[in-house]
Structures are given as structure tokens and as C-alpha cells.
């Protein structure tokens, strides 16, 4: 939806600003992974590259970034209309924490019975994608700064990080995922 609105806005901008070149790129991801794509484009622009090269840098980054998220509860996903009520109720009874990934769409990756096991699974998933290569990582959280700090320390000790920082989910993501959600956006260096 955001991509469609951006395309619509481009049409208005081009009418108001003739001669201005605007390129809209669907990141096909969310959260800090979008930030990594935007940073790649900004860095290319800062180096003086033209619009085609800036777009190419963003598209190349788009193919590298990954996202894994552990929700603290399934309740918020139900509230946003993404899962049926019965799944939400069963998840609450079983104390299930959904694990999601984002690649074109939000995809269900699995479940864990505790936050710790969920974090183990996402760390293992990142490790399988990057191996021992240097990695850029953003630790993300929804109203859980202490948990994010602990996860950042763990990532720092287990991975060869070229870049490592903490960021909050947007308010909309926080609403959809719920308080306590943590995750990692990353790409190999």
C-alpha cells in the first residue's frame, strides 16, 4: 500500500516539479531492513553517484537484507486481523511465541515456547545466512529496550559485526506485533 501511495505521489511531484527525476522502489521488506536499503542508497548518493547507480545500490541491498522477529504473544497479531481468533486463543493457552520473517510478505517461520528459544531460533537463522562473514545488524524491539540491549550484547559476542545498533519498531509495527517483540534485521558485509 505504501509503495502504491509513493507512486501516486511521484505523479503529483513530477507535475509540480518538471525535470525532477524520481524513482520509487518497493523494498519488499519492513522494519530496519528498509533502513539498510535506504542507507545503501544514501551512501551511493553521497559518493556522487547518479540516480541509476543509487537505485542499483538500493536494489542490490534489497537482495541481501533479512529480518527475523520473535513476538511475545500472538494476541496482537490477531488484533490486527492477521490470524484467526481460534489461533490466537490456542496460542495463548499454549504460551506460543510466533517467529516471523519478512521477504516480500510477512511469513510465519515457526513458533517457540519461550522468548529464549525464539531468540535461539532467530540467531541460528541469521547464522545460517551469514556464516562467519562480517555482518551488519540492527536489533529491533517494541517497547522492550532492556531485552534489546541483552540481544545486542549476545549478537556482539556471537557474530563478527561490522555494524550493530538498536532501533525501535515504528508505532504501527509495535501495535501489530505487541509489546515485548524483538528481532534482527541484517545483511552480510
- For residue range 12-60, list pLDDT tens digits in order: 998 899 888 888 888 888 889 999 999 999 999 999 999 999 999 999 9
Q: What was the pLDDT predicted at 84? A: 47
- 94 and 183 together in one domain: yes
Q: Which pLDDT band, with edges at 50, 70 and 90, does 187 fall under?
A: very high
- 36 and 88 together in one domain: no
DSSP 69-112: EE-S-SHHHHHTTSS-HHHHHHHHHHT-EEEEEEESEEEEEEEE
Q: Give the total number of structural domains in the chain.
A: 2
- 58 and 134 together in one domain: no
Q: Are 188 and 133 in contact (CB under 8 A)?
A: yes
pLDDT at 1 over 90: no
- 21 and 75 together in one domain: no
- 76 and 134 together in one domain: yes
Q: What is the DSSP code (8-state) at residue 184?
A: E
Question: Biggest alpha carbon distance in the chain?
Answer: 59
Minimal CA–CA distance to 24: which of 44, 1, 4, 40?
A: 4
- 74 and 159 together in one domain: yes
Domain boundaries, position 54: 2-62
Predicted structure pTM score: 0.84
CATH code of the domain covering residue 180: 3.30.1180.10
- For residue range 73-96, list pLDDT tens digits in order: 665 554 555 554 555 455 555 567
Amino acid at each position: 500500500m505504501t509503495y502504491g501511495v509513493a507512486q501516486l505521489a511521484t505523479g503529483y511531484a513530477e507535475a509540480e516539479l518538471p525535470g525532477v527525476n524520481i524513482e520509487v522502489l518497493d523494498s519488499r521488506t519492513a522494519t530496519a531492513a528498509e533502513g539498510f536499503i535506504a542507507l545503501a542508497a544514501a551512501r551511493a548518493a553521497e559518493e556522487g553517484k547518479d540516480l541509476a547507480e543509487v537505485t542499483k545500490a538500493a536494489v542490490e541491498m534489497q537482495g541481501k537484507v533479512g529480518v527475523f522477529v520473535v513476538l511475545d504473544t500472538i494476541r496482537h497479531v490477531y488484533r490486527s486481523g492477521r490470524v484467526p481468533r481460534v489461533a490466537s486463543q490456542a496460542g495463548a493457552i499454549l504460551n506460543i511465541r510466533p517467529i516471523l520473517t519478512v521477504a516480500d510478505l510477512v511469513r510465519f517461520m515457526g513458533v517457540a515456547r519461550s522468548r529464549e528459544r525464539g531468540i535461539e531460533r532467530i540467531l541460528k537463522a541469521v547464522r545460517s545466512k551469514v556464516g562467519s562473514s562480517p555482518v551488519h545488524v540492527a536489533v529491533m524491539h517494541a517497547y522492550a529496550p532492556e531485552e534489546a540491549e541483552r540481544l545486542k550484547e549476545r549478537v556482539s559476542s556471537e557474530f563478527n559485526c561490522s555494524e550493530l545498533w538498536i532501533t525501535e519498531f515504528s508505532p504501527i509495527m509495535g501495535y501489530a506485533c505487541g509489546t515485548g517483540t524483538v528481532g534482527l534485521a541484517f545483511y552480510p558485509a
